[in-house]
Amino acid sequence: MIRFEKVSKVFRGSSGTVKALDDVSLWIPEGSIYGVIGSSGAGKSTLIRCANLLERPTAGRVVVDGRDLVQLSPADLRNARRDIGMIFQYFNLLANSTVYENIALPLKLAGEKAARIEETIAPLLELVGLEDKRDSYPSQLSGGQKQRVAIARALASQPKVLLCDEATSALDPKTTVSILNLLRDINRKLGLTILLITHEMEVVKSICDQVAILSDGQVVEHNDVESFFLNPQTDLAREFVRAAVHEKPIEDLPAGIQKEQTEGSHPVLHITFLGNSTVQPLITQAARQFNLDFSIIQADMETVHGKTMGFLTVEVVGDELNAKSAQAFLRKHDLQVEVAGYVC
């Protein structure tokens, strides 16, 4: 549905040039919820603004629903943007307009008749749960209600794609959950493709099907969400996953863990797995079969993309060769196992 092909964006100013995006290539499948995460300044907002050409790429192609937006005439680009809705961090509502009038704005600008506007907005108010706020003004709404208005306004033109630029970062945790549930509901009911920019791993963990990490304008890792959490491939991805599952970094644990193996030291394993019923019997079996002791240092269970995942850090005490055999045994049974360090 959305393809970024070798997209770069350079900003030029009096103090020099800044390369916000550097040869970015991504594919967002139709009907998916795709998260792009990164720290501040990583290029996330520039990327999403390139998806509807609010920012024109310096190089590369942006293909939405089969059309290369970069190659379109101004008139054709305006038409193409009707298929691309967008919501922002701070809602961008008109203070002197009611909820109904804010939602109706894109339809009025498109020249739709009043009857058609009414037909469109009534079900949208129901979809976002604001039927009783139709004649209210933004100042009378909570932050979550304002974002619901912004979502309904973005859906008014019946787009195929919804772009979300940090749509929950101005909201409290409880309201964030309700907005994420609404976005998931919209995705399922309308078959809408959602590209979601965020710096919050909780957002990715809750609703995204796939995720990419941006750093310094480049994609450093991308995967489906389950694989991303079970087996992150880069240090940056591991940092994000640790933060999402509230796991302490190895160096912050009180067990005297070190990176390098020394004589007499024991491996510390980081184990990730799907489900919550298989790991304990497997570890017990490994301990008995290879004459080892497993000591749990930290453990957590999380729900990721609707599935239960486990995150376990253990010290393995016993013969070195047996410890390696136990690792192979656990991997054979579909557990992700990596040596995180060593402890004496």
Tell me: do 146 and 50 sit in the same domain.
yes
pLDDT on residue 258 = 79
Tell me: do 145 and 14 sit in the same domain.
yes
Rg (CA), the chain: 24
Tell me: do 159 and 293 sit in the same domain.
no
Residue 75 belongs to domain with CATH number? 3.40.50.300
Give the domain-ending residue among 201, 232, 263.
232
Q: Do residues 70 and 53 lie in contact, with contact meaning Cβ atoms separated by under 8 Å?
A: yes
Tell me: do 187 and 102 sit in the same domain.
yes
pLDDT on residue 182 = 93
Tokens 């797995």 belong to: 273
Per run of 10 residues, the mean pLDDT along the chain (length 344 residues) is 96 88 96 94 94 96 95 93 90 93 93 92 94 95 94 94 90 90 93 93 91 96 92 89 77 70 87 79 92 90 85 91 94 90 84
Residue 278: alpha-carbon gap to chain centroid: 28
Does any domain span residue 15?
yes
Q: In angstroms, rounded to a whole number, what is the distance separating the alpha carbons of residues 104 and 83?
A: 16
Tell me: do 267 and 224 sit in the same domain.
no
Tell me: do 60 and 157 sit in the same domain.
yes
The closest alpha carbon to 245, from 195, 204, 297, 295, belongs to 204
pLDDT on residue 340 = 86
Residue 308 belongs to domain with CATH number? 3.30.70.260
Tell me: do 228 and 298 sit in the same domain.
no
Q: Do residues 197 and 168 lie in contact, with contact meaning Cβ atoms separated by under 8 Å?
A: no
DSSP state letters, 148-205? HHHHHHHHTT--SEEEEESTTTTS-HHHHHHHHHHHHHHHHHH--EEEEEES-HHHHH
Q: Over the stretch 234-267, which tens digit does the pLDDT of each residue have?
A: 989 988 888 888 777 666 666 667 778 888 888 9
Token pair for 54: 């609010």
In angstroms, the Cα distances linking 232 to 41, 100, 116, 242, 254 are 22, 44, 48, 10, 24
Does any domain span residue 239?
no
Q: In angstroms, rounded to a whole number, what is the distance separating the alpha carbons of residues 266 and 146?
A: 54
Tell me: do 214 and 250 sit in the same domain.
no
Does any domain span residue 238?
no
Domain count, the chain: 2
Report residue 147: phi and psi, to 5°: -70, -30
Q: In angstroms, rounded to a whole number, what is the distance separating the alpha carbons of residues 324 and 233?
A: 21
Does any domain span residue 240?
no
Helix (H, G, I), strand (E, B) or coil at 322: helix
H or E segment and range at residue 340:
strand 336-343
Q: Which residues contact 251 (CB under 8 A, 6 or more apart)?
A: 257
Tell me: do 96 and 219 sit in the same domain.
yes
Tell me: do 283 and 170 sit in the same domain.
no
In angstroms, the Cα distances linking 170 to 183, 186, 200 are 16, 21, 12
Does any domain span residue 24?
yes
Domain that holds residue 285: 245-343
Give the domain-ending residue among 199, 232, 265.
232
Q: Do residues 194 and 187 lie in contact, with contact meaning Cβ atoms separated by under 8 Å?
A: yes
Tell me: do 24 and 104 sit in the same domain.
yes
Give the domain-ending residue among 232, 266, 281.
232
Tell me: do 214 and 289 sit in the same domain.
no
- What pTM, to 2 d.p., does this model score? 0.87
